[in-house]
Amino acid sequence: MGKKTEKLRIVIDTNIYISFLKRGYYRKILDLWLDDKFELLISNEALEELFEVLSRSKFNFSPDEIEELGTVLRKSNNSRTKEIVNLNTG
């Protein structure tokens, strides 16, 4: 029988999110995630940091855009994103 391969699991720093959301840098990461090529792991703390940063006036994200991003990142129905309480535990 064939060997089952596990999907790659990725943790992305807040700065990388900002880069591909605002400037289009690292867009390939977003495209690969949307194509379900890897599982994105994000902690509640990282989500809060991302939302705080995106709320800064210099980034010009509306509250609706930030909320929509939060919905996408928290979505677990497709197993694309899993919230993890603490990345430092086993």
d(Cα 73, Cα 70) in Å, to the nearest integer?
5
Residue ranges per domain, the chain? 8-84
Please say whether the beta carbons of 75 and 68 come within 8 A. no
- What pairing do the DSSP bridges indicate for beta strands 8-11 and 81-84? unpaired
Average pLDDT, the chain: 77
Question: Residue 81: is its pLDDT beyond 70?
Answer: no
pLDDT at 74 over 80: no
Q: Output the pLDDT for position 36.
A: 85
Q: DSSP characters for 47-86? A: HHHHHHHHTSGGG---HHHHHHHHHHHH--TTSSEEEES-
Lowest mean pLDDT among 26-30, 31-35, 79-83: 79-83
Please state whether beta strands 81-84 and 38-43 pair in parallel, antiparallel, or not at all (unpaired).
parallel
What local confidence, expressed as pLDDT, does residue 49 receive? Answer: 92
Q: Of residues 22 and 35, which shows the higher confidence score?
A: 35
Pairwise pLDDT comparison (7 vs 5), residue with the higher score: 7
